[in-house]
Structure 1
Amino acid sequence: MSKFHLNIQELVQGEFVMNKVNIAFVFQVNCPGCFIYGIPIMNELYRSFKDKIGFIGVATAFEDFEYNNKANLKLLLNNGTLVGETKKYYTTNYGLSNYLDIPNFPTAFDRITSSEQFIDENKIELICNAIPNFINFSEKEKEILVTKVKQYYSQIPVIAETFTLNQLKGTPSFIIFDDKYNILEQYFGHQNGDILKTRLEYLLS
């Protein structure tokens, strides 16, 4: 069973309390889809399950670093301030420069590091182990792959750890995990809130 690697820089809002069932919502502030399809669902789930399930939002950054940063996350949480493409979407379609459905759940900012800080044997091993059938590779194949992974990440100047270590496909992403960080369910992109709610109810039972 895969593990969820939660490597955050700072808890900006609320407190993450671990439960037998937990859900992480990984998003970017410069990601309109995260606001359209993600935050409202997470807010509703939090209202329904906050006494039974651990909740953590993780604002991350794998692009557009001038927008996807801790300062803009704080502005969002404080008064709904929108930036970048997200602001453009809501201004163009709704005449809004501030988001009305501000996240009500505990929210952190991902740990952002340089490639030099990020690349070590443990982290590279975590990434390689996430590759299907890596365990069955020959020692030579493993060695070649490890070298390629190191070379790839050495060319990326800024790396978000939670996003990268979990090899997420993008944002928004929802990860449901237990109190030992075992991943129970994982979802990417536009999701049906009722399906997520039903799944959480099943896991609680």
Structure 2
Amino acid sequence: MSKFHLNTQELLQGEFKVNKVNIAFVFQVNCPGCFIYGFPMMNDLYKSFKDNVGFIGVATAFEDFEYNNEANLKLLLENGTLVGETKKYYNTNFGLSNYLDIPNFPIAFDTITSSEQLLNSDKIELICNIIPNFENFSENEKEILLTKIKSYYSQIPVIAETFTLNQLQGTPSFIIFDDNYNILGVYFGHQNENILKTKLDYLLA
């Protein structure tokens, strides 16, 4: 069973306590879909399950680093300040510059590292191990793949660890995991709230 690698900086809001069942919401502040679909759903789930499920929001960055940063996350949490494409969407469609449904669950910013730090650590092995059947590859195949991965990440100056180590598809992403950080479900993009509710109810039963 795959492990969820939660590598964040200190919490900027709330307190995250690992429970038997947990859900992480990975988002970017410059991601309109995260605000349109993700936050309202997570706030609803938090109201319904906060006594039995651990919740954490992880603001990450894999693009648009001038917007997707810890400073803009703090502004969002303080007064709902929007930036970039998210601000453009809400201003154009609703005449708003601030988000009205400010998240109320625990939130932290992803751990940011350089490509050099990542490539010179054992974390690069974690990325390889996510690849299906990697353990069955020949030593030559493993070496070729490792070289390709290192070459790819050497070209990326800023790397967000939670997003990268879990090889997430994009944002918004929702990861359900247990108290040993075993992944119980991964969902990417616009999700039906009832799907996540049903999954959480099932795991808590």
Same fold per TM (> 0.5)?
yes
Matched, 1:128 2:128: yes
- Per-residue CA shift, 1:54-94, capped at 9, x if unaligned? 00000000000000000100110111000000000000001
Q: Which residue of 1 aligns with 2:12?
A: 12
Aligned length: 205
1:56 maps to 56
CA deviations over 1:69-124 (Å, ceiling 9, x no partner): 00100110111000000000000001111101101000000001111111135211
Q: Which residue of 2 aligns with 1:41?
A: 41
1:167 match: secondary structure: coil
Q: Distance in 2 between matches of 1:63 and 1:121?
A: 23
Q: Which amino acid aligns with 2:78?
A: N
Unaligned runs of 5+ in 2: none
After the TM superposition, which parts of structure 1 deviate over 2 Å for at least 4 consecutive aligned residues?
none
TM-score, normalising length: structure 2: 0.98
Task: Give matches, 1:1-205, under 5 Å.
Answer: 1-205=1-205
Deviations 1:125-164 (A, max 9, x none): 1101111221111110001111111111111100000000
Structure 1, unaligned runs of 5 or more: none
Whole-Å Cα distance in 2 between the matches of residues 123 and 154 of structure 1? 14
Is the Cα–Cα contact under 8 Å of residues 10 and 110 in structure 1 kept in the other structure?
no
Counterpart Cα distance in 2 of 1:66 and 1:121: 26
TM-score normalised by length of structure 1: 0.98
CA distance in 1, matches of 2:199, 2:131: 26
Amino acid at match of 2:139: E
Where 2:22 maps in the other structure, the secondary structure is: strand
Q: How much has 1:20 moved relative to structure 2?
A: 0.2
> CA RMSD, aligned part only?
0.8
User: Equivalents in 1 of 2:94, 2:194: separation in Å?
Assistant: 25
